[in-house]
A and B are shown apart, each in its own frame.
Chain A
Amino acid sequence: MSILVLDQLSKRYGALLVTDGISLSVDRGEIVGILGPNGAGKTTLFNLIAGTVKPNSGTITFDGRDITREGAAVRCRAGISRSFQVPQPFTGMTVFENVLVGATFGRDRAGASDFAMRALELSGLTRKANQLAGSLPLLDRKRLELARALATDPSLLLLDEIAGGLTDSECHELLEVLREVNAAGVTMVWIEHVVHALLSVAQRLVVVDFGRKIADGVPDAVMASREVKSVYLGDDVHV
């Protein structure tokens, strides 16, 4: 049963076709990894799914409902949540308040404070709850992205490069958290350049290049495929 279906999705910036007829379906409870070189159009794909930008053509179906024309806020409340590759904290608010925004507006049940604290705990930010988000270093800003996304109680979590720069043990902790969240029923799509981290949780890999989906399947097969090798030939990929 698919939770998310993209059908022939295209997005153009001027002359540049950044998303070129991508079709993709994600099953409920699945963890899908997305790979692709810089500028391939991965973040744009998330922007399209989360409603930050609108496609030029194609449709997006979530939970059986066509959401192509819905705004980002409606999609968030419907259960789609995303982290930003370039963190977008509310710099004048504390870490707790940042997460409280998601817990208050991204879900519709009471108990926002408890939910916000739970998200901070999962993301390892509890001790920084009262710090101004604007004073956080980059890694903590990325943790805050994860915390805010979790606080909206998503059914589909879109993660955009959250593992870069982590030490081995921090990366291990992150993977534990993602497994736990997934075990609780959250579907995930994860864009990540840290391939070994991605491969340790992803059940399926999708490769994007020049706005097109060039591979989609079980991780081993995709990593061994000719398309991926050609894309990453000369690239610094550690598997």
Chain B
Amino acid sequence: MDLTPWEKVKLARMPIRPTGLDYIEWIFKGFVELHGDRLYSEDRAIVGGLAFFDDIPVTIIAQQKGRNTKENIARNFSMPHPEGYRKALRLMKQAEKFSRPVICFIDTPGAFCGIGAEERGQGEAIATNLAEMMMLRTPIISVVISEGGSGGALALGVADKVYMLEHAIYSILSPEGFASILYKDSTKAESAANDMKLTAQDLYKFGVIDNIIPEPLGGAHNDFEFVTGKVRDVISSDLKELMSLSIDEMLESRYKKFRNM
């Protein structure tokens, strides 16, 4: 069953779709959540912590949507403030120190737009993550599980391997925002979604992502065991591959990967 880009946008945003914490719970063992950026505050739109993947200690960073309205308000609908990105970076630098691989789950409509976010340097926070992740001396794997919105997603997306779930989307802006800027009409989001080329299939074809992780018929929520099994396989084989490279080789190929886009 082939979904249209707009159907994928709607599916990717469905509240029933598994969230970052669901993946953490199903794929890893002994998760210890770590909070705060040590600079300003804790941002609950991003969950971070440590866990075992099989017997390998890893650092996990996940953008977290709520499963209901109350949770969504607490999670700010998975739209991080600068402190969320700074917490992510703190944990990544910690991962580098202890030679732990970093696994990121991306699911955000975008970085939050607001007064506080601007006052505290949303642009600076994202920019710093892009540069630091490029140089981070430990493997990074990122998976776009549902919505990959703009720079807010990219700030967790500079990785040795980048994946998207079959029905996930990843784009420069929401189709609504895109339509309102380019067509001066936010109701043209459906046709914007077609023009934008935001599906996993498009991005794989472009070489922007390394591979597509299949979902069961109807989407990830219909058979979560199937999806987490696939994600687990990908992480397992990538870690083997990346950990067999020297760090300099790995960084060189990380650089080349994005340099060629």
Whether A and B are associated in the same complex: the answer reads no
